[in-house]
């Protein structure tokens, strides 16, 4: 993992939590693909805004964030445990109906992404659903706050997913956002399913 990026979120947890956007309609679409009351792992939960919706809808939620400071803020807001866990510490096997990773795996160094996706694949139950979003680009780099981004082109990202285990693509769409550093970005939103057999 990129230590400079992780340190940014540790140092700026309060400010980032105050900025965090409301959940999008994509979350509702993701939840509709899961069994009622199913088990969800959220990676990079930030301030806990998405986890709050999941919990309100009756899902069993394991919320995590790589920043202990951010995890503490989210836990207090949610009244629900939030673990400080890095992506490379995920070791669950066939445990979750869904994995939600909104705008967090985009910080994984390119050479480490396949391994993280493999961990997510193992953590999902057969037919489990996985959502992740990435800032699109052509080469990795840092923003003006020093945060690392893998900035993947879509074709490269699809190849990395394929190398990490079989997936069925349910949807892939783009959206425009304004980042925490006030710069615009094009996001690729991917929803995939682990095959049943």
**pLDDT tens-digit readout, 54-87:** 999 999 999 999 999 999 999 999 999 999 999 9
What pTM did the predictor assign?
A: 0.95
Range of the domain at 164: 3-193
Distance (Å, whole) CA 144 – CA 161: 28
pLDDT at 17: 87
Residue 197 has pLDDT above 80, yes or no: no
In the predicted structure, residue 16 carries a pLDDT above the cut 80: yes
pLDDT at 44 (0 to 100): 96
Across the chain, the runs of DSSP E, i.e. the strands, are 39-42, 60-65, 82-84, 96-101, 124-135, 141-142, 148-149, 168-178, 184-193
Check if the beta carbon of residue 38 is closer than 8 Å to that of residue 124: no
- What CATH number does residue 157 fall under? 3.40.50.150
**Collapsed DSSP state (helix, strand, coil) of residue 109:** coil
pLDDT > 70 fraction of the chain, expressed in percent and rounded: 98
**Total domains, the chain:** 1
- pLDDT for res 1: 82
């Amino acid at each position: 993992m990129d230590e400079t990026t992780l340190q940014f979120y540790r140092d700026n947890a309060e400010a980032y939590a105050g900025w965090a956007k409301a959940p999008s309609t994509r979350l509702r679409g993701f939840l509709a693909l899961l069994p009622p009351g199913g088990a969800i792992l959220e990676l990079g939960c930030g301030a806990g805004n998405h986890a709050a919706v999941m919990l309100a809808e009756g899902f069993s939620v394991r919320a995590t964030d790589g920043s202990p400071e951010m995890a503490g803020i989210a836990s207090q807001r949610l009244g629900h445990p939030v673990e400080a866990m890095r992506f490379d510490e995920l070791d669950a096997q066939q445990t979750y109906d869904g994995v939600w990773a909104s705008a967090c795996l985009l910080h994984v160094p390119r050479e480490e992404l396949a391994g993280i996706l493999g961990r997510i694949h193992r953590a999902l139950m057969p037919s489990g659903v996985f959502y992740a979003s990435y800032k699109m680009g052509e080469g990795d780099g840092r923003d003006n706050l020093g945060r690392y981004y893998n900035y993947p082109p879509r074709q490269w990202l699809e190849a990395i997913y394929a190398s990490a285990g079989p997936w069925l693509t349910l949807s892939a769409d783009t959206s425009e956002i304004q980042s925490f550093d006030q710069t615009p970005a094009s996001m690729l939103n991917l929803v995939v399913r682990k095959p049943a057999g």
